[in-house]
Amino acid sequence: MNSEYLKFLDTCWIDYIDSTPSARKINELLSAEGEQIINDHIAFRTWSDSPFSIEHFKKIFLDWGLVHGGEYLFPNKKVRAIHLQHPTDTNIPKIFISEIQWREFSPEFAKITSKVISQLSKDGDLLSMMQKKICWDLRIEEYETLSLESEYGSWLYAWGIRPNHFTVSLNSLKKFNDILKLNAFLKEKGFTLNSIGGEVKGSAQLLLEQSSIMADRMTVDFSGTAKNIPSCYYEFAKRYQQNNGVLYQGFNEKSADKIFESTNAKS
Ligand code: NI
């Protein structure tokens, strides 16, 4: 595998646990149980019609040797997504990139988003973008205006382009290979699962079961106003074999739609 991609994933993890202390804690708890964790996928959120739209974003990963895996639509959230995967090795983490169709929202929503996008660097350099994180002035009124129409849109405004979640592959676990058992363990340790649409999303028949914790909350400085808002969350996925004996590598729109809500402000 392209070493730049693996280095990128390491950088992402460091950035991610910084704003997602629960992920670090769960990682440590599972390691203490003797588990060796492999990530199923890492997810990013971005804006359509921007220097970091899906079209631009995916070129970076294609250059690193991943291939196009699938496309997904979430019409009620005005979000579309794709996933990229390694051509042969299912142990290499996949990338899930979703994109908000911000022009389809109200003029006010589009105006705020357009102002943010105009401040993004035009070179599409993902690594330097992630290092800079937020290069626009965060304003609480703007965050709240966006969140009235889209929790996704307000999350992206506050956090920028960075990993939204990492996902533990249950297939790599020994003791916690069963999603119900893992969920019970997480609850016993005090974590709150996303129960929107049920704690387990998907099924063995659909070849993919997923669960997630609700996002951690962090205090963010909105130009002088501190506000405690959802940051990132940790997800768990178990994949099943297709008829050809290969593990299913795709995603389920209905499940992902509910998992997006792990960053909802009301929990
Ligand atoms: Ni995910």
- Alpha carbon of 122 to ligand 1 centroid (Å): 27
Q: Which domains does the chain have, with CATH numbers?
A: 3-263 (3.10.180.50)
**In contact, 215 and 262? CB cutoff 8 Å:** yes
Question: Which pLDDT value is given to residue 1?
Answer: 67
Q: How far is the CA of 225 from the centre of ligand 1 (A)?
A: 31
Query: What are the tokens at 199?
Result: 């704690």
Distance 50 CA to ligand 1 centre (A): 22
The Å distance, Cα 134 to ligand 1 centre, comes to: 23
**Statement: residue 13 has pLDDT above 50:** yes
Q: How confident is the model at residue 174 (pLDDT cuts 50, 70, 90)?
A: very high
Distances (CA, A) of 195 to 239, 248, 264: 20, 24, 12
pLDDT at position 193: 97
- Calculate how far, in angstroms, residue 174's C-alpha sits from the geometric centre of ligand 1: 21
- How far does residue 167's CA lie from ligand 1's centre (Å)? 6
What's the rounded Cα separation, in Å, for the pair 15 and 13? 5
Instruction: Express each pLDDT in 215-246 by its tens digit.
Output: 999 999 999 999 999 999 999 999 999 999 99
40 C-alpha to ligand 1 centroid (Å)? 8
For residue 265, the model assigns a pLDDT of 82
Q: Are the CB atoms for 159 and 35 separated by under 8 Å?
A: no
* 176: its two tokens: 């916690």
CA 103 to ligand 1 center in whole angstroms: 24
DSSP 29: H
Burial 204-213 (b: 16+ CB within 10 A, else e): eeebbbbbbb
Ligand 1 centroid to 10 CA: how many Å?
A: 18
Average pLDDT value over all residues in the chain: 94
Q: What's the pLDDT at 126? A: 77
The Å distance, Cα 43 to ligand 1 centre, comes to: 6
Stretch among 77-91, 174-188, 253-267 having the lowest mean pLDDT:
253-267
138-155: pLDDT as tens digits: 999 999 999 999 999 999
Q: Which residue has the higher pLDDT, 266 or 182?
A: 182
Interval 106-137: pLDDT, tens = 999 999 999 999 988 887 677 777 777 788 89
Q: Where are the beta strands (DSSP E) in the chain?
A: 39-47, 67-74, 79-85, 94-100, 163-169, 201-203, 208-212, 217-222, 225-230, 233-239
Ligand 1 centroid–CA 46 distance in Å is 14
What would the pLDDT profile of 252-267 be if each residue is shown by its tens digit?
999 999 999 999 986 4
Cα of 235 from ligand 1 centre, angstroms: 6
C-alpha 208 to ligand 1 mean position (Å): 11
Å from CA of 202 to ligand 1 middle? 12
Contacts of 37 (CB under 8 A, 6+ apart): 27, 30, 31, 168, 169, 172, 173
pLDDT above 60: residue 213: yes
- Half-sphere exposure in the Cβ direction for 130 (13 Å, CA): 18
What's the pLDDT at 266? 64
Residue 224 alpha carbon to ligand 1 centre in Å: 33
Inter-residue contact 101 to 150 (CB < 8 Å): no
Instruction: Tell how far the Cα of 94 is from the centroid of ligand 1, in angstroms.
Output: 10
Cα of 223 from ligand 1 centre, angstroms:
31
Mean pLDDT of 9-15: 92
Residue 134 has a pLDDT of 80
Q: How far is the CA of 228 from the centre of ligand 1 (A)?
A: 23
Per-residue pLDDT, 267: 45
pTM value surpassing 0.85? yes
